Every structure is written in C-alpha cells, then in structure tokens.
C-alpha cells in the first residue's frame, strides 16, 4: 500500500456470538464485531481510519488536525482524541447550536482540548475550508480530515480490518455469509469491499444507509474503491455489484431516532448487555432486525454485525428520555 500506518487501536477486536438475540428473532445466527472497543477515546470505527490519516498528517508535517461533523459526531470525538495522543492541535467544525451544557461526544471533544467552530449543516463544508485556510494563514500547518475520515487514505483502515477478519474466521472456525454495517460517509464500507476483494472473501457486505439514497451512497463507495485501486496500483477485479446498500431505514432523517432505533437499542441492551448509539449502530441494528423478520437472510446464514461505536451519544439529549421504559 502507498500509505503508512501508526498503530492506535486495540486490535484485533473481539467477535461475540449474540445467541439470545438470535434466538428471539428466530432467524440466522448473529455475531458482532466489537469495533466499539478499539480503545481510543471510547473507541469506534474511526480509530482504524485515523491510524492511516494520522500517519499521512505527520508525513505532511501537520501540527493541527481539522475536521467536521454533527454536534454528537463520533468521528470528531476520535479525531480530538488522536490529536491529543499525538500532541497536535485540533479544530472541529460542528453543525448545530452550542448547548448550554455539553454532553456525550461534545463533552469529550472539549475534554480532549479541541477548538470548536460552529456552523449550519448546509454550510459546514464551506466553513471547514475557511477554517483550514485561516489556520494556514496563521502558520498552524493544518491537515484536513474529511467527514467521517472517508477518503482513499482513511478507508484503508477497513481494508486491514478484512484481513483481520480472515484471521478471526480461521481462529474461530467460522465463515460469515453476510456483514451488516452502518454506512454514511462511505469509507468503512468501501474499505471492507476493497479488503474483501484483496483477501478473496466471499461473504456479502451490506451497508445500512443512515441517510440519503442508495444511489448516492453507492456512487460514493464505488468511487472510493476505484480510486484506492488506482492510487495503490492494485490488480483487483472490482464489480459494482459488490456494493450493496439498503436505504429503507433512514426514517425521519439523520440523527432523528424513531421507534425502530429505540427497539433495536433496547433489544441489544436487554438481551446481550450491548450498547448501541442512537444515530449509526442503532439504525443499522434496526435494519438488521427488520431484515431478519422479513426473511431476507437464510436460516442457516451466519451474519456479522459490525459495531462501529458511538455509545457516548447515548448520554446526550434528546435521546435519554426516549429510551426510558414506558
């Protein structure tokens, strides 16, 4: 690979059999890849990406990491954590209104020492670019990390994850027929598809769209895979049919938790002692549960749910009141 990596994550992450959930749903056997336990700043999938992004930033002599996300962004929380670990400054462009009291991921952003810039969601990319320009003018040597860490550099974290998975399967004596993951900025799913190609993996990768359409997200994933193949001079037979996305569970939009997400979070917690987040894993798990009920998977399938983290958002309003028992 063209890009180098700085080890940050606690790897390999565990694979756990969700036996009680599988029995209640009366469908395939469901397992969970615990990428919520990658270790850095409460963990999550972005830590794998940041191993490559940090290495690239240091190679470019960066002194400030700059990125953007929503007010409860799991990605931004991990960017702030990696900046603290590396001794770099961090500027985060967050969409939303500054709250009176910081909770969840926002509280952790501040604890890690990140500087916060507020923007409207519609203009945050423009604000991000302006923030990078100002940092350059001030001599702060900024390195811009895109939304979700999803570019040809960051996605390599999940290229590596598929190699790790192949080793997991050999150790556990398992072969997974399906992988289910939250998909939003596209980098995690793109890295998984690229890794599956490289390690000749036959299991299907299903991205549950967190927002937007399958067409738009699919194009993003495909472009990332194709760009990575070109940049790294890989001789891999990529076919668009490998990018599978379900857009049927986006609900009322990004960050709006509905009954399916509430049910999924409760089921994972009460049956497996496993905490999901309201925005990403809660929605992806809701999609998984409904697909099992609809008979999408075969009874003898083995399905691996990738827990991409985000649990600090559970402790942020307005989610707490919605999750209380009724």
pLDDT in tens, 11-38: 999 999 999 999 999 999 999 999 999 9
Active site amino acids: 73
248-275, pLDDT tens digit by residue? 999 999 989 999 999 999 999 999 999 9
Contact by Cβ (8 Å): 92, 115: yes
Q: Find the CATH number of the domain harbouring 99.
A: 3.40.50.1100
How many other CB atoms are found less than 10 A from the CB of residue 15? Answer: 17
What is the average per-residue pLDDT within 145-168? 97
Structural domain boundaries enclosing 259? 15-44+151-323
Residue 297 has pLDDT above 90, yes or no: yes
Both tokens of 303, joined, read: 């399905």
Burial category of 272 from C-beta neighbours within 10 Å (exposed 0-12, middle 13-18, buried 19 and up): middle
Q: Which of 149, 181, 205 is the last residue of a domain?
A: 149
Residue 121 CB neighbour total at 10 angstroms: 14
pLDDT classification of 284: cutoffs 50, 70, 90: very high
pTM: 0.95
Decide if 10 is inside a domain: no
Say whether the peptide bond before residue 143 is cis (omega within 30 degrees of 0): no
Is 70 exceeded by the pLDDT of residue 324?
A: no
State the DSSP code for 210: S
- Express each pLDDT in 201-247 by its tens digit: 989 999 999 999 999 999 999 999 999 999 999 999 999 999 999 99
Same domain, 208 and 94: no
Same domain, 103 and 180: no
Domain boundary among 149, 169, 194: 149
Residues 136 and 27: their CA atoms lie apart, in Å, by 54
Q: Is residue 4 part of a domain?
A: no
Whole-angstrom distance, CA of residue 326 vs CA of residue 318: 16
Q: How many domains does the chain have?
A: 2
Which is more confident, 266 or 2?
A: 266
């Amino acid at each position: 690979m063209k890009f180098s990596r700085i080890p940050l994550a606690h790897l390999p992450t565990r694979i756990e059999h969700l036996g009680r959930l599988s029995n209640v749903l009366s469908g395939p056997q469901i397992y969970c890849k615990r990428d919520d336990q990658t270790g850095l700043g409460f963990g999550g999938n972005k830590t794998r990406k940041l191993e490559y992004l940090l290495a690239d930033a240091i190679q470019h002599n960066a002194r400030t990491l700059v990125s953007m996300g929503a007010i409860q962004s799991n990605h931004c929380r991990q960017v702030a954590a990696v900046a603290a670990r590396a001794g770099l400054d961090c500027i985060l462009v967050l969409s939303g209104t500054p709250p009176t009291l910081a909770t969840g991921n926002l509280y952790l952003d501040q604890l890690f020492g990140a500087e916060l810039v507020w923007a409207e969601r519609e203009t945050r990319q423009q604000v991000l670019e302006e923030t990078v320009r100002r940092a350059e003018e001030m001599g702060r040597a900024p390195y811009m990390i895109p939304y979700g860490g999803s570019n040809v550099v960051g996605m390599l974290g999940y290229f590596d994850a598929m190699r790790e998975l192949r080793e997991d399967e050999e150790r556990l004596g398992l072969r997974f027929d399906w992988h289910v993951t939250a998909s939003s900025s596209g980098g995690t799913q793109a890295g998984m598809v690229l890794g599956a190609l490289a390690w000749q993996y036959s299991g299907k990768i299903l991205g549950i769209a967190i927002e937007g359409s399958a067409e738009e997200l699919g194009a993003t994933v495909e472009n990332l895979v194709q760009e990575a193949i070109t940049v790294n001079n890989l001789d891999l037979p990529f076919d668009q049919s490998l990018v599978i996305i379900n857009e049927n569970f986006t609900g009322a939009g990004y960050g709006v938790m509905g009954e399916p997400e509430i049910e999924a979070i409760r089921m994972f917690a009460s049956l497996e002692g496993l905490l999901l987040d309201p925005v990403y894993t809660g929605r992806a798990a809701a999609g998984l549960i409904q697909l099992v009920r609809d008979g999408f998977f075969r009874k003898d399938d083995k399905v691996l749910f990738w827990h991409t983290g985000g649990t600090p958002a559970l402790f942020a309003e307005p989610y707490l009141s919605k999750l209380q028992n009724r």
